Chains A and B, each alone.
Chain A
């Protein structure tokens, strides 16, 4: 019998929580997949923030007109960096927490059901 099959059979009766805890081959495989899902999510958020953050100075450099543009008497640079970034940061954080919790509860469902 393939070890994976054996692990799956013993797991089916008592739930695989024990596999995760005891780091059986099945448990490690499952947890590695959760870790990678969470890492993908984290990298996505960091890259998203990174692109915006690297991009803002580049836009100012490449398009000096933007640096001098004004909205309601205030320069665009001040509006973006002084005010608008903050709701954007909080929005990104909220979206991240929701997704991360969803990934975890999907994993818990999987463990408790199988």
Chain B
């Protein structure tokens, strides 16, 4: 808890700006075709900034530093994984996925395999993965406000839930590429400037040693982390393959005019993410020197917020604390609104839209937004406090065990069948979500079984791919007729312009 209200004012400023622009800003772009129109006036750098702005969440801004502080060097695999996930996305799915014209993951499932039932399964998974990813955004907001003011942790969650709920329901936020782009640069400034100054201060203090023991040694299991080798590989697999299946990532790609532009934008995104991810571990490392008492406690995730005030006193420390607090809230708001739009869209179109009871499109979207925000908000109140970056990785693990096989096999393997894809979604999603549910409800577990449940990707991803391939081969007489046309659409170069 700090003595100053400046950081709180900075948070309020970010919240108000987001709220005002989100609610009263450009309201025109609501439909997918408006997105296309907007995309032509947006340069690749702005678009890439927007994608990065939406991607850098509470886990990136606060969670990584907290994990590094507590568990040491092995935690660097989180930022590496979050970045390589985009490389894998670039290489395996980016251009074909844009050419598919799909706006959401269920759209892709239907476009490629033409099955309404598969679409429904995909819709349910989008909602569940989105909720799992929203949960740490709310928890992050809670611990941030708690660290700044001592307010109970539900206050921060309420703030984010209300701002996101209202802006998304009124239909603004999603369209405003420039806000998301601005939030990337705000986050980069908010993490890099304090980090550089902190390193400078650390040198002026005579570069004190970080820590004794195995904190800096790879795979040492420092901080009571058992099975470090299995967990490292499982985190790597989840983050590398999960990024492509996150609900809010695909929608942003739609703002690119074609497949080729999508590749180039993704390239810029990789540069922007790399620039950001160098900095969070610096806070974790310097936290060993200046705030070692946070390590291993639930407050470890607040090291980014507290460190500047601890190292620099006076107004200088307050200014830096305000900057990181603003960056943290930018992270919660941008990621949470992106996710909420994706979940609300799928809820209103694919799930609520199945009956007439919920009224017309706009009303359904509002109900969808309410459900999208309220469920993870309640979960955030009752679920045990896990590390932010750990919770996010569970969402990556579920995405890697479901949409990764659907996308990769759907794009590259013409023999995929509806049954193969459905079975993969059910088996991969069921096993990964089952593990997640057990951990959230009754965890943390110990022993090797605990490690398997904590980081399930290493076994659920191969299981899902295997299921898709085996079931598809056993139903090979049912390859959809439209497969060949879909393959042409996915892989024909944009310049060919087959519509001519």
Contacts and interface: CB of A to CB of B under 8 A. Distances in A.
Interface in B207-235: 207, 216-220, 229, 232-233
Interface stretch (B148-156, B176-184, B484-492): B484-492
A86 B277 contact: yes
Main secondary structure of the interface of B (DSSP, over half): helix
Contacts of A45: 87, 91
Contact of A82 (B278, B494, B496): B278
Contacts of A92: 87
A110 to B, nearest CB: 11
A107 to B, nearest CB: 6
Contacts of B207: 73
A3 interface: no
Nearest to B207: A73
B84 A49 contact: yes
- Interface size bracket, A side: 35 or more
Given A53-B84, A57-B233, A77 B488 contact: no
B236 A53 contact: yes
B491 A35 contact: yes
Residue from B218, B264, B492 with most neighbouring chain A CB atoms (10 Å): B218
Nearest to A111: B496
Given A23-B488, A31-B487, A57-B229, A89 B83 contact: yes
Interface in B64-83: 73, 76-77, 80, 83
A83 B260 CA distance: 29
Contact of A77 (B73, B267, B278): B73
B463 interface: no
A93 B216 contact: no
A34 B415 CA distance: 17
Contacts of B62: none
Contact of B264 (A35, A38, A89, A97): A97
B270 A60 contact: no
A61 B229 contact: yes
B495 interface: yes
Interface in A13-56: 17, 20-21, 23, 27-28, 31-32, 34-35, 38-39, 41-42, 45-46, 49, 53-54
B83 A57 contact: no
A96 B488 contact: no
A21 B488 contact: yes
Interface in B470-500: 484-485, 487-488, 491-496, 498, 500
A10 interface: no
B114 to A, nearest CB: 16
Contacts of A82: 76, 278, 281
A105 B484 contact: no
Contacts of B83: 85-86, 89
B271 A90 contact: yes
A83 B229 contact: no
A38 B99 CA distance: 15
Contacts of B236: 53
B316 interface: no
A43 B259 CA distance: 19
A34 to B, nearest CB: 6
B52 interface: no
Given A35-B487, A90-B271, A101-B260, A75 B91 contact: no
Contacts of B277: 86
B488 A104 contact: no
Interface in A79-114: 81-83, 85-87, 89-90, 92-94, 96-97, 100-101, 104-105, 107-108, 111
A65 B494 CA distance: 51
Nearest to B498: A21
B95 interface: yes
Given A53-B84, A97-B90, A23 B485 contact: yes
B431 interface: no
B492 A31 contact: yes
A70 to B, nearest CB: 9
Given A20-B488, A57-B229, A105 B271 contact: no
A60 B76 contact: no
Contacts of A20: 488, 492, 496, 498
25 contacts: A20-B492, A20-B498, A21-B488, A34-B491, A42-B91, A45-B87, A45-B91, A46-B88, A49-B240, A57-B229, A57-B232, A57-B233, A73-B207, A75-B216, A78-B216, A78-B281, A78-B285, A81-B76, A85-B83, A89-B84, A89-B270, A93-B87, A97-B267, A101-B260, A101-B263
Given A23-B485, A73-B207, 19 more contacts: A20-B492, A20-B498, A23-B488, A31-B491, A42-B91, A42-B92, A49-B87, A49-B88, A49-B240, A57-B229, A60-B219, A78-B281, A81-B73, A89-B87, A89-B270, A90-B271, A101-B263, A105-B495, A107-B493
Interface of A: 17, 20-21, 23, 27-28, 31-32, 34-35, 38-39, 41-42, 45-46, 49, 53-54, 57, 60-61, 67-68, 73, 75, 77-78, 81-83, 85-87, 89-90, 92-94, 96-97, 100-101, 104-105, 107-108, 111
Top 8 nearest A-B pairs by Cβ distance?
A86-B274, A81-B76, A104-B493, A60-B218, A21-B498, A77-B218, A42-B91, A35-B491
